[in-house]
Amino acid sequence: MSRFIFVAMMLVVTVAGCNRFPDNGLQIAANIPPSQGSCLFSADAELRLLRGLYDLDVAGDYVIAPLLQSYLVSNALEFQGEQNNLQVDNYDITILLPDDTVPVLPGGLPNPYRVDTSAVLPATTGTNISQAVGAAIGIPASYKDALLAIEAATGFSSVILSIRAGGTTFGGFSQRSAPFRWPVDICEGCLGGVCTTEEAEEIRDSSCLQGQDIWPYCTGIFDPPTDP
């Protein structure tokens, strides 16, 4: 009887082990800027920024586009579809100060908070890590006054976004990445300036996320008079 019990216990452990995913099956590797011209986000983008910049004079959200990587390997069988495809549908974001403290935001604004995204990463096969980009609101525009209050109270002109991606495999297992830290400098008007008509047209066509990171905007139009 004891031998049969032992075999049954081994079977349970084996089945449970097959369904267990590694703790770092989902990771964030970078924050991807949009490509100039098309303004699309791509996992193959070559441009990388070292940190972000958020101009609070622009009435808009701060956008993030984490590069997601899935290390969940394919487990498809002849009689069963792929279970390890992974849909990432949210980010848990905590605003940190440069000294790693979590500030209490005025006005009762939540910190941390969750934002929506949508990206599907196929299961990894071979040595090629599955990648996708999931864009989302990193800092809502409604947090601008809170960021100004933080700067006034602490003297810090930057924050750190601690970002954790979350999703579910097609087999129904939840995944949550380790934190990815993205520093963001805060300014007022640093990316804006008076433009000529020609410059304004160029910025309108090529500045994808006006008021953040490397994307300028026009605060007014001035064309110098031409010589008679």
Quote the distance between the C-alpha of residue 23 and its chain's center: 19
The pLDDT assigned to 56 comes to 96
The pLDDT assigned to 23 comes to 60
Confidence of residue 9 (pLDDT cuts 50, 70, 90): very low
Strands of the chain, DSSP E: 26-31, 52-55, 62-64, 66-70, 86-96, 113-121, 130-133, 136-139, 158-169, 174-176, 180-187, 192-195, 217-221
The residues that bridge with 160 in the sheet, in sequence order, are 96, 183
**Where along the chain do its domains lie?**
15-188
Confidence of residue 111 (pLDDT cuts 50, 70, 90): very high
Q: Quick one: which of 118, 113, 112, 120 has its CA closest to 135?
A: 118
Question: How far is 70 from 175, CA to CA, in rounded Å?
Answer: 10
The residues that bridge with 120 in the sheet, in sequence order, are 87
Instruction: Report yes or no: 93 and 53 within 8 Å, Cβ to Cβ.
Output: no
The token duo for 111 is: 């910190």
The token duo for 6 is: 């032992």
The pLDDT assigned to 162 comes to 98
The average pLDDT across 74-89 equals 83
The average pLDDT across 177-184 equals 97
The pLDDT assigned to 19 comes to 46
Instruction: Report yes or no: 175 and 25 within 8 Å, Cβ to Cβ.
Output: yes
Q: Give, as one character, the DSSP assignment of residue 212.
A: B
The pLDDT assigned to 74 comes to 85
pLDDT per residue over 26-81, tens digit each? 999 999 999 877 889 999 988 899 999 999 999 899 999 999 999 999 887 766 77
In the CATH scheme, what architecture does the domain 15-188 have? Sandwich (2.60)
